[in-house]
Structures are given as structure tokens and as C-alpha cells.
Amino acid sequence: MWPLAYYRKLTGTNLVAERGATTGPALLIGAHLDSVKDSPGADDNASGVAVLLELATVLTEMNLAKRVILAALDLEETGHQGAEVLAAELGDQLVGMVCLESVGYYSDDPGSQKLPRRAQSLMKESARQLRANENRGDFAMIVHRTSSTWMAQRWAQAAAATATPLQTMTVHDPRSTGLRGRLLTTLLPVLSNLDRSDHAQFWNVGVPAIAITDTAVLRNPHYHRPTDTPDTLDYTRLAAVTAATATLAISADSATERIDEAVQWHRVKGPAQAHPNSRGAPPNPPPGHPAWGAPAVG
């Protein structure tokens, strides 16, 4: 993390709530609540916390039969300490973890999305998709490992089925947990860029996890700056992130009809109203249930 900083005393607080069942295996959905000095942190990471807060309402209305944990995680910017503590505490109770990391900034302008040259050589399919889309930053990226492919697929499906379909790009982390994974990181240091949020701490204890992100610094010119303010966010797409995450939680809960119910809920009611500064207003909800498309998993 640059610039390096030394903290003589460092304390933080994770805020944790539960929905659905009170016992049994759980899906954890988390977003870090801290920002860096001198940045309001609208995208990084008030956007993720906003989704988390809306999910608290959405999932209550859905009457989940299974257990879902919602966590606002502290001290992400100083080294993921909040996530490390929670992963150690809850890891053996979790079937999966969803990390919401900077999910509110999008651009339809050609050339607005960057992908480091070193990463392009390892993520050839992602690089090809970007070139075909004129390097537009108009999608949500889903980072996953083999153990969490099922979550990446379901989240991509749900995002495509929201009232304003959200494009996604999935990036497969080839590493496994343990010594082999650490050795691969040593051989290919570029892979450490896939560890840059709280999901990595859950990978470290063997919990299947995905990270949902707008790619932060690779797209957002306001990253870690005083200009990371609410007026720069795309609230229509942020609502789609909320709906897709809710749908993942519900699809992990029970049957396909509950998935349709969640997406239909988003179409009719919507998890958030579009902000006056958002890029475009949400369209009128179309009738009927959405058609599910096949996810593009890298």
C-alpha cells in the first residue's frame, strides 16, 4: 500500500447483522466502511456500504429460510484487518463470501477502462472483451476462484436480468489456497492485484469468495482523491448491483422461483431511486419475468 504509513495505535469496529435463519451455514456479504485521508470515499467505498444497507431491507422483505450475514468491515485501507478478524471468527460457518468493493463508478466513454499490460498477458479473454468494447468502463468485474465459480455465474446471470441490464466481466484467479497459491503469487506477482480487498482474507481461510468491483483505480479518475464525491456515481447501475447481490443471496437460499421473485421485485419496486446526477434514468419496468442468459465466466 503506498504511501506506507505507520500507525502507533490502530483500532476498528466491524458492524455485523444477520438476516434469515439464526443458525446453520451462512453466506456473508461485506463492504468496507473506511476511506483514505482527504477522500470522501463515495465510490471507495460508500457505494459498497450503500448496497449493503439496502440489502438489509431487501432481504428482510424476502423472508429468507437460510442464513445471510451482512458485514460493514473496518480497516480495509490499512491492510484488511477487519476482514481478517471476521474471517477467523466466522470462516468455518460460511458457504461463501461476497465482497462489494467500489461498485458505483461507470463510464460509457471509449478508452475509459484500463488493464495493466502485465495483466493482459494472463487475462487474455478479459483483454479481448475490453478491446471489442473499445475499452469502455461500463461493466462490473467479478473476481473469483474455482471454488467460487458458482457464485460468479449466478451473480452474472442476475446482473444481466435486472431492469437495466448490467454488463459483467469475470476474472478467474487460478490460485488455490495454501502453499501452491503462495508459490504462484511469487512466480506471477501480478496476481497479487486480485487480492486488493477484503475477499482475500476469506480466501486465506478457505472460504469461497468473489469480489464485485468497478475496478477502482483502473477506471475511476477520482480514486482516493478529494473528488470521489456522490455526484460522480451511476445510481442506476448501483441499483443493479444491489439487485444482483440480493438475487445471489436468495438463489443460495432456495429454488429458482425465488430468483425470479427477487429480480421481478427489482423491476417493479427497485432497490433505489436514480440520483439526479446519475447517467440516465431507469426505464419503466417491463412486464413478465426476465429471461436468463448464460454467464460469461473467464
Average pLDDT over residues 81-109: 95
Which range among 40-44, 71-75, 138-142, 181-185 shows the weakest confidence by mean pLDDT? Answer: 181-185
pLDDT interval class at 252 (50, 70, 90)? low
Decide if pLDDT at 249 tops 50: yes
Decide if pLDDT at 29 tops 90: yes
Average pLDDT over residues 75-86: 89
pTM for the whole thing?
A: 0.82
Which range among 20-29, 204-213, 230-239, 284-293 shows the weakest confidence by mean pLDDT? Answer: 284-293
Decide if pLDDT at 192 tops 90: no
Reported CATH class of domain 15-108+140-268: alpha beta
Express as a percent the part of the chain with pLDDT over 70. 81
248 and 155 Cβ atoms separated by less than 8 Å: yes
Mean pLDDT of all residues in the chain? 82
How many Cβ atoms sit within 10 Å of the Cβ of residue 8? 4
Per-residue cell: 286 = 417491463
According to the model, what pLDDT value does residue 5 have? 61
Which range among 177-191, 221-235, 264-278 shows the weakest confidence by mean pLDDT? Answer: 264-278
| In the chain, where the domains are located | 15-108+140-268
Residue scoring higher pLDDT (247 or 295): 247
Residue scoring higher pLDDT (8 or 113): 113
Strand pairing partners for 20? Answer: 67
Which range among 51-60, 182-191, 195-204, 229-238 shows the weakest confidence by mean pLDDT? Answer: 182-191
pLDDT interval class at 4 (50, 70, 90)? low
According to the model, what pLDDT value does residue 180 have? 75
Decide if pLDDT at 58 tops 70: yes
Cα–Cα distance for residue pair 80/131, rounded to 1 Å: 33
Average pLDDT over residues 216-241: 97
Angle CA 79–229–269, to nearest 5: 100
How many Cβ atoms sit within 10 Å of the Cβ of residue 205? 17
